[in-house]
Amino acid sequence: MRGKTSLLHRVGSILLFAVPVASCTSVSSSTLSLTYGLTLAPSGIDPHLHASAELGIPLSSVYDTLVFLDPDTRQFVPGLAERWTISQDGLQYTFYLRQDVRFHDGTPFDAEAVRANLDYVIDPDHHSQKAALMLGPLASVDVVDRFTISIVLEEPYAPLLDSLSQVYLGMASPTALQTWGPTEYQFHQVGTGPYRFVKYVRNDHLTLARNPDYAWAPAIYHQPNAAIEELTFRFYEDEATRAFALESGEVDIIGEVPHREAARLAGGGEFNLYPVPIPGQPLQLLFNTSLAPTDDLRVRRALILGVDRERIVAAVFGPYSPVAQGALASEGFPSVAEAPFPAYDPALAEALLLEAGWMDEDGDGRRARNGEAFQLRIVVPTWGSNPEVAQLVEAAWEDLGAEVEVEIAPGFGPLKEAQARGDYHAIGNNSFGADPDLLSAFYLGDGFYNWTGYSDSDLDQWLHEGARRFDSPLERRALYESALRTVRDQALILPIRDYVNLVLAREEIRDLRFSAQGWFPFLIDVRLAPSSP
């Protein structure tokens, strides 16, 4: 049966775990289930090795972390670590672990398990795409005693607690890591969280089952135990299919719904809309400062001034997303709005282009300089409405007299290949997170994602010092504000919109909440409204 009567159905099939389970029984009859629609099928889903934000939507319910970031207070609270201390010089973090935790396969959680996890992440043969970088200047991981672990750094690294609170550094069973290894572990994941990993069929679905032995829920959860027995996650990469999947009863919850469909469905009484702000970087285009004509600051400024960002955001995202004002979203970093990027001003854009020597020499509406055409190449990924935004930016820059080509990169691999070629003038890329240190990868001179090619010693110093200032939040914020002003003054990006994930859920679903990182739901808290008589 489809439609609203199919909500959270009861199924009678027996589920077999895809991991060795030593101390639990199989899920059997009368299982209360929920289907969650995902909007991207990651190329890999081991959070320790892969980088997609989408993988965290299901897997944040499989793994616990040493600490958690409270989404309401923005303070770190105990997780698998009951408490922790930081040395005065910021080089040593000592975690005192819970002693009552077991992994889903029965393996006890202890300090050796933490060390095994971090060793797995930093092993160069495993090619971790994100988690290894999140550990910063790691020097060693030392077991003090069975339930005490010490993480030693080569230099202070303020983002460490934030890193340890994320699913990418979630604690996995060392038994499972050793048994399956980096290639197969993604299909046999074992954590300590409120849900157990059951099965993953690539590009089709992922199934989780409630962990009946869960007895160590952190304070950020409102419920100590899950009410939903079984979770199935299915993939809907084409945004045009998402509203239909919800209306037809294929899914009960789905995110990244187009704004018009979200407004329509939210107004009908059958679904609730959850606009979830996502901290981190906005949807943006990074200018290539190493290739003419965007190597000229005047041209970059003109290209920013020539785009009506408010109109683009209204057209593509409706009233739900703020216009981006800088290199970080105002969610979690509100001072960005105090020094915003300049607003739409085509007259000033025209003046800057003329000053740079780009003019319409023959009256055909296209600019040139010394016989060279004013040509621009944009490369964007497929996700996050980047293609639709790129088309509108293309039109705006053509109105300025440019010849514009847009390339859609079908995946991160092709996007990285386009970046490596270096033949772009603007390229779409961003990262999400609650800590401003994510700027470092994009704006340090040797940053992994420094696709602008810009390098500045002052900017490097502010970013390096920002990562070190674990002891003074106010001074740390001031350093990042200096970095953000440089990004604006050097016109290194065209910021478009701060991300807001439009999540729709059936009206019967209650207590749907999300992590401080925005994307990840606390599915342990989900409850159902009482059935009508």
At 106 the three-state DSSP class reads coil
| Rounded Cα–Cα distance for residues 123 and 504 (Å) | 39
What is the pLDDT at residue 334? 80
Q: What is the pLDDT along the chain (533 residues), one digit of tens a residue?
A: 333 333 444 333 323 333 333 333 222 334 599 999 999 888 899 999 998 889 999 999 999 999 999 999 999 999 999 999 999 999 999 999 999 999 999 999 999 999 999 999 999 999 999 999 999 999 999 999 999 999 999 999 999 999 999 999 999 999 999 999 999 999 999 999 999 999 999 989 999 999 999 999 999 999 999 999 999 999 998 888 999 999 999 999 999 999 999 999 998 889 999 999 999 999 999 999 999 999 999 999 999 999 999 999 999 999 999 999 999 999 878 887 778 999 999 999 999 999 999 999 888 999 999 999 999 999 999 988 999 999 999 999 999 999 999 999 998 889 999 999 999 999 999 999 999 999 999 999 999 899 999 999 999 999 999 999 999 999 999 999 999 999 999 999 999 999 999 999 999 999 999 999 999 999 999 999 875 44
Q: How many helices (H) and strands (E) does the chain have?
A: 15, 23
pLDDT tens, 476-524?
999 999 999 999 999 999 999 999 999 999 999 999 999 999 999 999 9
What Cα–Cα distance (Å) separates residue 278 from each residue in 29, 379, 516, 532?
38, 23, 8, 35
Do 47 and 170 touch, CB atoms closer than 8 A?
yes
- First vs last C-alpha separation in the chain: 20
What are the E-state strand segments in 243-317? Answer: 253-254, 271-277, 283-287
| Rounded Cα–Cα distance for residues 7 and 33 (Å) | 9
Do 81 and 98 touch, CB atoms closer than 8 A?
yes
Single-letter amino acid code for the residue at 262: A
Domain boundaries, the chain: 4-275+502-528, 283-497
| Rounded Cα–Cα distance for residues 105 and 433 (Å) | 31
CATH for 4-275+502-528 is 3.40.190.10
pTM of the model: 0.88
Do 256 and 246 touch, CB atoms closer than 8 A?
no
CATH for 283-497 is 3.10.105.10
What is the pLDDT at residue 533? 44
Do 378 and 405 touch, CB atoms closer than 8 A?
yes
CB atoms within 10 A of CB 65: 23
What Cα–Cα distance (Å) separates residue 169 from each residue in 122, 187, 473?
11, 17, 23
Structure tokens at 389: 């935004």
| Rounded Cα–Cα distance for residues 530 and 481 (Å) | 48
Q: For residue 291, with 0-12 CB atoms within 10 Å meaning exposed, 13-18 middle and 19 or more buried, which class applies?
A: middle
What is the pLDDT at residue 43? 86
What is the pLDDT at residue 31? 58
Give 514's DSSP letter. B
